[in-house]
């Protein structure tokens, strides 16, 4: 039986697999059983930001492997403290709690927000989140994730969560009150198709916060760590978050998540309030630290700035050529969504033939999440393959 058949037999049926089997990954390419090399515009859904088998990650692995892999959170460890310090410097916030995934970071943020605001006012317990948001799939995080298709089969979810439309200031004003504990926002909603929040909406969040004193939690799980060209997407908005959540690329390919908060909010957590056996694992943290060191290099930043600008410019040109195919381009940096209607999945399928791996989200959006280390030569290869794929679909 081949791997895809065995996968169907032994793995629960929650994922749609692509019809190729990857044997190896190197740089920004995945290589299949027949040695075909695919340009990876998937990057493990925004995880492999430095591509595959990056030297800095491999070096950190070797060093940390020799010291220890795991001790438990009874011990302070150098790599974990270093990573926390880097995250506070990058974000301007003060203290970190480490988790193993994005959804656990959301859970921890919910608990932290609830405890922090309830200790000031006992009934300040409500959460506000957006329709079409995505904050994770555990029951708490799912209660925030404003998508019927994910929530419906698992109701009842946790109470006291209000959902409002993205960028709808009237609904925002209606939802917020002295009972609001926190609002959860993705500055650019990823899973629902790379949908940015508007500046007036975010300004209104800040104005309401000055009056009602709820917490602002920004989910940077997909947008964070330079995905949109800067450390955190909130940094180009009026938002001043009390808490941010990160995960995805933070472990250089291994699982880790983090909640980063202001000192005032973080101080609500006391020993025993929250914990995780593996959260803040020294091995993964060492890779995270190496990743952030690499991303801080001027050469990395320069290449990211140039190549993401080149990607956007090339896509705008393509949109001019195919306005009926690429109806809209949204997003920033290397997190771009192309609204392609029913053609999105057809283009994704065609791209496989041209050895390009694309991700489609919300059925109609091609979501480009390439490794941040994409070179200009690889960018050219992308445009050749992408144009061929569109041409094939247009001729259908």
User: Is the CB of residue 257 less than 8 Å from the CB of residue 102?
Assistant: yes
Distance separating alpha carbons of residues 379 and 141, to the nearest angstrom:
36
Stretch that binds ligand PLP, among 99-107, 281-289, 294-302, 365-373 (CB under 6 A): 99-107
188 to each of 50, 113, 134, 238, 254, how far by Cα in Å?
21, 22, 11, 14, 24
Stretch that binds ligand PLP, among 16-24, 101-109, 194-202, 230-238 (CB under 6 A): 101-109
Q: What is the number of other CB atoms lying within 10 angstroms of the CB of residue 324?
A: 9
Q: What is the DSSP pairing of strand 161-164 with strand 126-130?
A: parallel
Is 117 a residue that touches ligand PLP (CB under 6 A)?
no
Task: Please report how close the Cβ of residue 219 comes to ligand PLP at its closest, in angstroms.
Answer: 5
Is 135 a residue that touches ligand PLP (CB under 6 A)?
yes
Stretch that binds ligand PLP, among 25-33, 134-142, 166-174, 285-293 (CB under 6 A): 134-142
Question: Residue count at the site for ligand PLP (CB under 6 A)?
Answer: 14
**Residue selected from 40, 107, 126, 219 as contacting ligand PLP according to rule CB under 6 A:** 219
**Residue selected from 64, 101, 262, 389 as contacting ligand PLP according to rule CB under 6 A:** 101
- Our CB check for ligand PLP shows the closer of 114 and 248 to be 248
Is 49 a residue that touches ligand PLP (CB under 6 A)?
no
Q: Which residue's CB atom is positioned nearest to ligand PLP? A: 102
Give the contact letters, 172-211, x = binds to ligand PLP (CB under 6 A), - = no.
--------------x---xx--------------------
**Residue selected from 91, 222, 237, 362 as contacting ligand PLP according to rule CB under 6 A:** 222
Q: What is the number of other CB atoms lying within 10 angstroms of the CB of residue 142?
A: 22
Q: Which long-range contacts (CB under 8 A, 24 or more apart) does 298-302 make?
A: 300/372, 300/373
**Residue selected from 247, 261, 336, 360 as contacting ligand PLP according to rule CB under 6 A:** 247
Is 48 a residue that touches ligand PLP (CB under 6 A)?
no
Residue 217 contacts by C-beta under 8 Å, 6 or more apart in sequence? 109, 113, 182, 183, 184, 185, 241, 242, 243, 244, 245
Stretch that binds ligand PLP, among 12-20, 52-60, 95-103, 282-290 (CB under 6 A): 95-103
CA nearest to 142, candidates 99, 107, 168, 95:
107
Stretch that binds ligand PLP, among 33-41, 112-120, 217-225, 357-365 (CB under 6 A): 217-225
Residue 76 contacts by C-beta under 8 Å, 6 or more apart in sequence? none
Helix 298-321 × helix 376-394 angle, to 10°:
20
Instruction: Read off the tokens for 246.
Output: 């990160």
Distance separating alpha carbons of residues 356 and 15, to the nearest angstrom:
20
Footprint of ligand PLP (CB under 6 A): 101-103, 106, 134-136, 186, 190-191, 219, 221-222, 247
């Amino acid at each position: 039986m081949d791997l895809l058949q065995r996968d169907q037999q032994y793995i629960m049926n929650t994922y749609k697999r692509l019809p190729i089997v990857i044997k190896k990954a190197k740089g920004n390419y995945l290589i299949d059983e027949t040695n075909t090399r695919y340009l990876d515009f998937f990057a493990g859904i925004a995880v492999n930001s430095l591509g595959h088998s990056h030297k800095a990650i491999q070096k950190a692995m070797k060093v940390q492997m020799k010291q220890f892999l795991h001790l438990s959170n009874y011990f302070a460890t150098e790599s974990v403290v270093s990573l926390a310090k880097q995250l506070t410097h990058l974000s301007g916030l003060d203290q970190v709690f480490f988790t193993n995934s994005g959804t656990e970071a959301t859970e921890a943020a919910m608990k932290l927000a609830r405890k922090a605001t309830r200790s000031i006012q006992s009934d300040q317990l409500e959460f506000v989140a957006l329709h079409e948001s995505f904050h994770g799939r555990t029951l708490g995080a799912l209660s925030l994730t404003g998508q019927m298709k994910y929530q419906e089969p698992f109701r009842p979810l946790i109470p006291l969560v209000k959902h409002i439309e993205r960028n709808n200031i009237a609904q925002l004003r209606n939802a917020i009150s002295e009972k609001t504990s926190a609002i959860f926002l993705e500055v650019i909603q990823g899973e629902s198709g790379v949908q940015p929040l508007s500046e007036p909406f975010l300004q209104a969040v800040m104005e309401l916060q000055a009056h009602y004193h709820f917490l602002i939690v920004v989910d940077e799980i997909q947008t964070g760590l330079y995905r949109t060209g800067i450390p955190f997407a909130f940094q180009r908005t009026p938002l001043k978050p009390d808490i941010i959540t990160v995960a995805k690329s933070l472990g250089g390919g291994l699982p880790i998540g983090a909640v980063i908060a202001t000192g005032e909010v973080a101080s609500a957590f006391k020993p025993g309030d929250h914990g995780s056996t593996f959260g803040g694992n020294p091995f993964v943290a060492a890779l995270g630290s190496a990743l952030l060191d690499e991303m801080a290099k001027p050469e990395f930043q320069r290449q990211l700035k140039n190549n993401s600008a080149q990607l956007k410019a090339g896509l705008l040109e393509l949109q001019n050529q195919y306005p009926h195919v690429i109806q809209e381009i949204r997003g920033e940096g290397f997190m771009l969504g192309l609204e392609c209607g029913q053609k999105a999945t057809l283009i994704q399928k065609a791209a496989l033939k041209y050895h390009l791996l694309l991700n489609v989200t919300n059925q109609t959006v091609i979501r480009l999440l390439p490794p941040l280390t994409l070179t200009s030569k690889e960018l050219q290869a992308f445009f050749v393959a992408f144009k061929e794929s569109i041409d094939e679909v247009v001729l259908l």
